[in-house]
Structure 1
């Protein structure tokens, strides 16, 4: 966000395209998300949201088009380079180490060449204290010695978010943070998003829980068949006939 409070562009794509077996999962998508805001990317199942995430974070390479972050080209760059540019992300299915403790999972979030090096480096450079602070912030510090596989799914989501925060990203991309999570933890995740955004972090959230999306978001983009069909405030997109047609066929 600029000094006078005006919106600036964070993540943006032009003509982004990715196909699988002749099916366009992302089909020439040109879209921009607002830096400093809570952005949401919504759409029916199969509309290309996760593939879009994977393309812009380097998990897969797009077939065509470009992606940029705050004016810098990130198209096709490796995930670690995109992370260093300031983007962190979670996944639809939690990516944690199930047989490691909660605290160990936090320490391996520190970027080093090997798992062993990550743990050793973290323990010698003060990241233990930061890990514990972040675990306390998401509300699972009392579980630091618990193996990750013994957490509830909602607690695993909180652990993954805390791990993303270890890298101190300015933009956080969350892929279905409320999926499979009980209402109390959904409220906690929502509160965390609000407080982190108030501190200056940008969010881009893919989510099917419309109550969560509409209560949190400043800016909503709607995908259908791999491309954006509408965008605006929550009120604007909820009343857009193109959105109603995509979701309800009306």
Structure 2
């Protein structure tokens, strides 16, 4: 299976705390990949290093064979990687439509504040809002939405930029069951259309139901990987989660 996103010996420490300890990982192209592990195992730090939010102390990240280790976040996004955040990032005083359009407007947020928009972009933004089931919030400011609705809005903005690979950081966190089902269904639909996913998530029901391939982290490095059927019974995984 071809690797979409790959790291080699990725390391990152914050003071005396080692967050990533030689993480060598291959996420499979065209699949729904999951990255799981106990709290503090380095999952979000891994996402931050891969997407250029922070720089690793050492190691290498490649995407579709190209080295992206030292690239800036905007360059990594242009290469085809989009991501959401554990604490979702939306513009609270902008409407849902303007939040989505900000992802593709010239000048980003400043372009959005100036009201620059094209008919084609506006139509596409509305299509994503509809597909995520929040079209009724088109003209509502993000600050007036529920947490789950804001997560869907953030994802709509990411998808508006048309990434080939999407990294989702805890999409189920704080989301009600109805919205959670919508996210799971959407991930599988988008994957069937050709997008690769890497999902950090603690909701094991969601992980096991939508993932093709799972990587398990503990103490900053992978300890197991494989399909859900294998991960469910892996003794190393049970030990990391349950301390047995």
Distance 1:116 1:249 in 2: 49
TM-fit CA distance, 1:235: 1.1
TM-score when normalising by structure 2: 0.97
TM-fit CA distance, 1:118: 4.3
Residue correspondence of structure 1 range 75-94 to structure 2 within 5 A: 75-94=69-88
Q: In structure 2, what is the equivalent of residue 206 of structure 1?
A: 200
Alignment check: 8 A CA contact 1:107 1:119 kept:
no
RMSD: 1.2
Structure 1 residues 122 and 190: alpha-carbon distance in aligned structure 2, compared to 1, 3 A threshold? farther
Distance 1:165 1:138 in 2: 10
Q: In structure 2, what is the equivalent of residue 230 of structure 1?
A: 224
Distance 1:27 1:120 in 2: 45
Distance 1:114 1:161 in 2: 16
Alignment check: 8 A CA contact 1:58 1:78 kept:
yes
Q: In structure 2, what is the equivalent of residue 3 of structure 1?
A: none
Match of 2:111 among 113, 117, 120: 117
Match of 1:106 among 100, 116, 125: 100
Structure 1 residues 216 and 122: alpha-carbon distance in aligned structure 2, compared to 1, 3 A threshold? farther
Q: Which consecutive residues of structure 2, in runs of 5 or more, have no partner in the other structure?
A: none
Secondary structure of residue in 1 paired with 2:6: strand
Q: Which consecutive residues of structure 1, in runs of 5 or more, have no partner in the other structure?
A: 1-6
Structure 1 residues 121 and 67: alpha-carbon distance in aligned structure 2, compared to 1, 3 A threshold? farther
Match of 2:139 among 122, 142, 145: 145
1:169 correspondence with 2:163: yes
Secondary structure of residue in 1 paired with 2:117: helix
CA-to-aligned-CA distance 1:98-122 (integer Å, 9 cap, x gap): 0111111011111533523246585
1:188 correspondence with 2:182: yes
1:155 correspondence with 2:155: no
Alignment check: 8 A CA contact 2:129 2:156 kept:
yes
Distance 2:139 2:87 in 1: 22
Distance 2:128 2:93 in 1: 20
